[in-house]
Structure 1
């Protein structure tokens, strides 16, 4: 056991299906087992969560995998030394288009259905139509420096669609479905349960998942300020150990039913279990009233007996940094100076799981 320097910890999370490791570590007593008294604080947006971590309002956070890199470079906020000693999840996102747009695309192709996963090139006829009217399709992602952004870009690129062909907005996850219902969005890339919720409510069609685009890319990580970790090294190890145990617990399929039930509570996702459970069970809801698509790795939290899965490996961080450079988020000079080894902290992770 560790010599805990700081027992009381505030941990920020976003109400998403892949916040499951954080919720499970709390609800199943794993934080307490490792000597921690954790308070979970639900956040409304990724920018707010990041700022609270930078300012020390919260001690730790569930973060988008590219966020620690962006923080270290001062992108879209204050330059701050954020580190990640643990990968919490991989995959988990989906690209959903509005039912109204889907029906238009069917009409363009004179089809009754479009096979899944669908290519972005199906958008071409509608993009051309709107261009004649001086308009564009409007899509959204949750945050500029996110795998959602890079997955959407990859999807568009594979379909020979330029980013300039669409309008791109940044919308908090919980705002995606209401924005689609109101007609403000034609499509979005977001994590669960919001794709499934759009399908269940008949406003969206989910045609692509992150498993189809950037298979097994890190999605969410544990984020800490480097100064906080230096001040509380044993507490950090305990935190990593508790969350790693929760990730392992989630690899048992029957446990995922229980996770869906817990996540549905008002203090977490405040959403019905029938939109939370599918992705946890390897099922992608595509169109309301049709058979779901089987996507075995839709939500991945760990691989039993394989500690490499949750390790914030150097190559994982390097791949994300490469994506950021390819998308023009960081310059060649910034990429050259970037020290991923100081951000994605394999050393802390390996120390934690070896004890």
Structure 2
């Protein structure tokens, strides 16, 4: 594949600040940087690690970040001014599908087994098993607040809506459960200290809870919403309009990275890279499982085989990376359903303006189909700013 026209890039922007969250599915950004895909498109990208989605959002809105890895519903929320000022943020590319898990504490797991008189619990775990626990706690609530408490990472996230779907599909009233917002990297500590009874988060935090013996991963996004967008490339619409060629170059480089991640062997190599201090700074044993289709469940049980646990691309000519309008409409329907969007807001043409498949398609309009590397290539030195 030919590089984006360098002459055009010179009239746009070469030096890019790109925000990412230290999660397993930041892999496309890290691989595009480490394997030189950004550089081959004439870009000098600095990856900037963030620790909360609200901080990532605020820095993108303020122009501190040129572009960022976002949760799929976040550009919709930004554009509508949910949880902050309205800023027109677009998503011209999907970076990944799936990747989340619902993990409960060992104490809750044992309580469920005791209440139901079971030696083991079938997987995926049904939220219906929580109902007698919830009822027992209701009876004790006169003395203290004993509601089950679950955490997600951001109010307008697939995690939040997947958790509510898990409850709803199994007859659990969301009003009987407290839901709090905690940054991804703080989830395991909160579970271990009994501040929460469970969480919905992306990797590697579910696997770490299992490896540490403090949690049981009972369900994944593949069980609840299979193959829906999870992370997207996000930028302000005004920034894209000022730098259209730079945007195309970013998309092309990230597509190369996503396609490189289509094979399991490459994803294992990606796990090794992600384990570095500059990225996730965690052991390979908690990063690699979801990337190779293995869902750790319990420290004494065999993993579940979930081939699409983390999905970045498809083999063949089909793509998951174009931001499909029906996916955006599905996410919007969840936001409406759970009353995150005021009834008076006009939603006509909103998804067309946010999920910009036209920009994605334009990025490849002038280029022939390219062959994705199938072998691990020599790595570039890392340039990363905290």
Q: TM-score range by the shorter chain?
A: over 0.9
Structure 1 residue 116 and structure 2 residue 116: aligned?
A: no
SS in 1 for 2:17: strand
Partner of 2:306: 295
Report how far residue 133 of structure 1 moved: 1.4
Label 1:240 to 1:307 Cα distance change in 2 as closer, same or farther (>3 A).
farther
Structure 1 residue 32 and structure 2 residue 39: aligned?
A: yes
Q: Give per-residue Cα distances to partners, 1:78-121, cap 9 Å, x unaligned.
A: 10000011000000000000001100110011111101001101
User: Is this contact kept in 2: 1:82–1:225, CA < 8 A?
Assistant: yes
Report how far residue 14 of structure 1 moved: 0.3
Partner of 1:61: 68
Partner of 2:379: none
Partner of 2:95: 88
Partner of 1:317: 328
Partner of 1:22: 29
Structure 2: where are the runs of 5+ without partners?
Answer: 368-386
Structure 1 residue 103 and structure 2 residue 110: aligned?
A: yes
Structure 1 residue 50 and structure 2 residue 57: aligned?
A: yes
SS in 2 for 1:9: strand
Structure 1 residue 223 and structure 2 residue 234: aligned?
A: yes
Partner of 1:76: 83
- The structure number with the bigger radius of gyration is 2
- Of 297, 312, 330, which aligns to 1:286? 297
Label 1:64 to 1:331 Cα distance change in 2 as closer, same or farther (>3 A).
same
- Of 197, 211, 214, which aligns to 2:208? 197
User: Is this contact kept in 2: 1:325–1:335, CA < 8 A?
Assistant: no
Q: Give per-residue Cα distances to partners, 1:141-197, cap 9 Å, x unaligned.
A: 000000001100000001100111111100000010000010001000000000000
Structure 1 residue 165 and structure 2 residue 172: aligned?
A: no
Q: 2: distance between equivalents of 1:202 and 1:124?
A: 24
Larger displacement relative to structure 2 (329-338 or 7-16) = 329-338
Report how far residue 334 of structure 1 moved: 2.2
Larger displacement relative to structure 2 (112-121 or 299-308) = 299-308
Q: 2: distance between equivalents of 1:330 and 1:146?
A: 13
- Of 152, 155, 159, which aligns to 1:141? 152
Report how far residue 125 of structure 1 moved: 1.3
Q: 2: distance between equivalents of 1:91 and 1:271?
A: 21
Q: How many residues align?
A: 355
Report how far residue 44 of structure 1 moved: 1.1
Q: 2: distance between equivalents of 1:338 and 1:180?
A: 41
SS in 2 for 1:271: coil
- Of 238, 242, 250, which aligns to 2:261? 250
Partner of 2:371: none
Q: 1: distance between equivalents of 2:188 and 2:161?
A: 21
Structure 1: where are the runs of 5+ without partners?
Answer: none
Q: Give per-residue Cα distances to partners, 1:267-321, cap 9 Å, x unaligned.
A: 1111101000000011100000211001111000011233431001111111110
Q: 1: distance between equivalents of 2:88 and 2:318?
A: 26
User: Is this contact kept in 2: 1:250–1:301, CA < 8 A?
Assistant: yes
Q: 1: distance between equivalents of 2:346 and 2:127?
A: 29
